[in-house]
Amino acid sequence: MFQALRHFDVAHQFLMGYMDYYYRFKLITKRARIRFEQRDWHGIQADARGRITLYRDDVDETAREVVQLLKEQSFDAAFWAKVKAAYAEEIAHFNTKNIAETFYNSVYRHFHQVGANRDLMFVSRTSSYREYQGLATISMDYDLGTRNLEELLEELLAAFPFDAPWDDKKADITLVAQRWQQHIDEHGGRSPDDRLEVLSSLFYRNKSAYIVGRFLKNGTIVPFILPLLHPEGKGLLIDALLLEADQVTSIFSYHRSYFLADITVPSDMVDFLHTFMPTKAISELYNAIGFEKHGKTVFYRELVRHFRKTKEGKGGREKGARPQDALEETKEQREDFITAPGIAGMVMYVFTMPTLNMVFKIIRDKFAPPKQVTPAVVKEKYDLVKRHDRVGRMADSYLFEKLALPLDRFSPECLAELRETAATKVEVTEDTVLISHVYVEKKMTPLNLYLNEANEEDAKKALRDYGRAIKQLAAANIFPGDLLLKNFGVTRVKRVVFYDYDEIELVTDCNFRHIPEAKTHEQEMASAPWYSVRPNDIFPEEFPGFLMRSGPNLTYLREIHGEIFDADFWNDLKERLQAGEIMDVYPYRTKYRFLR
């Protein structure tokens, strides 16, 4: 009888699916404070994993409900345009309008999976560059002037009540005030216009909580981060005061797990964070605060903008873009997709654009020996990394399915390689390259290439961080499997990050062994192992032989991180992990910690 309103019913189903998702998303973030108060570290990690799968589950459930509503009937583009319009009308004044649009897109793609239709999906921004600007303030503002810093900090901490005692709040406040005053003195002293703006939302991850704000002084914006800990046998304490941009950028980086934060207007939050992390893409900041699916939407828009900027040198300004976007959209030299620099991987073919800070990784149809994994296993490994604690040492990635890229932006060599190595995943039409399954990650310099070009000081720093990366991954129950330097990258701030996941294993699933001592001359001279080797057996003593050639780099690595070549080191970590210990891996340097 009411067939004319079928589009409205479908839009309502989309809306109910989104509302259920967002309610459960908020519920998870709200209980992070309780987990922190109760030192429920396993619970907070489980919540972080559950929140990632929550989106996928709710999108799938909503799609099933829409299918039942449509009763297997097919509808044309005009019908879906009406659905989109009805949905847009309902969410027009949502605080999370942009997130709701992304949810719609995800469900819609169950019905039309190829490409991004601007008429039927929310492809471009529908609001200002902030996407949605809330009416209420998201921060607490303090006019410093000549105020006593300790009194101000006392007032600030009172705004974050915990159902747990402090260890020694007065001592913490004194330490923070002293370090803050030192920073102020080093930057010209106190000014009447100095301000502190602190976000009302706390940020939780693993065993830490973070008070996040910005310090405005003399026209500059400096981050202001207070990491809080709740150690066993002690009360709450402030572990550090972070005012350095690189340290804060690392805390919010793509190689760390997403924060749990109770956020009312995500776009306002991202805008605030971007003021003191201007080098970070907006998409990456959405990831950091837990809206990784919308981060993927924003990344796609950033990619389209990059295409526009680098196509025959023509730029343009997107409707609703920021004034500074006009500067970004200036004329640039044409760019095409090319094979990424570095040693070609046996599992993945990697391509990029010269000035694009991302790489595209597609699973090859066949793997060259000695690789024995399957494409299904590779996908499982990437899914594991997405859900696991990345401890700042594994790169996050966007998974795109049915990604349509412009054919005219591929170099002949890159297109030929794609067709040859991944023919089952690539379809070329008149004007489009359609890829059925591709991972997109931040571009890094492969560690082997970095060491070839680095001076002695930078090479040693990278080797030190390479060893730390292996140890910190192990502390998070990750054994990289293939420790070759080419599988690690160096970031913009010279941090070493692992990015090749096809052979990773949980430390607790590995059997670390010493190489048995040879009993005869024949055994000692044998070219193949004379002892039994099971599938999960790992012999750390063998690592140096395939990591790098003998020389100063290997000698230095042995000197500072020699324990990674000893089975006892790995077995000790394994025992602690099996006992349920969650080890401390701090996302900032020890020199910044108070360690009182």
Ordered alpha helix ranges (H), 343-411: 375-387
d(CA 132, CA 100): 11
The token pair at 537 is 């057996």
Catalytic residue among 396, 465, 482, 502: 396
Phi first, then psi: what are they for 434, rounded to 5°?
-100, 120
d(CA 108, CA 111): 6
DSSP E strands in 133-201: the ranges are 139-143, 195-199
Q: Give the Cβ contact number of residue 541 at 10 Å.
A: 12
The token pair at 162 is 């915990």
d(CA 293, CA 295): 5
Question: Helices 169-186 & 149-158, crossing angle to 10 degrees?
Answer: 130
Q: Give the Cβ contact number of residue 540 at 10 Å.
A: 20
Maximum CA extent, the chain: 90
Phi first, then psi: what are they for 184, rounded to 5°?
-60, -45
Pairing of strands 511-512, 537-538: parallel
The token pair at 393 is 């040492």
Sheet with 403-406, edge to edge strand ranges: 403-406, 432-435, 426-428
Q: Single out the residue of 395, 359, 362, 392 nearest to residue 379, CA to CA.
A: 362
How many CA atoms lie less than 13 Å away from 460 in the CB half-sphere?
Answer: 7
Q: Single out the residue of 310, 265, 320 nearest to residue 289, CA to CA.
A: 265
Pairing of strands 348-352, 358-363: antiparallel
Q: Is 396 a catalytic residue?
A: yes
- Contact present, 124 and 325 (Cβ < 8 Å): no
The token pair at 171 is 């001592």
Helix (H) or strand (E) holding 212: strand 208-217
d(CA 101, CA 119): 13
| Residue whose token pair is 């990456």 | 284
The token pair at 583 is 């080890």
By annotation, the residues acting in catalysis are 396
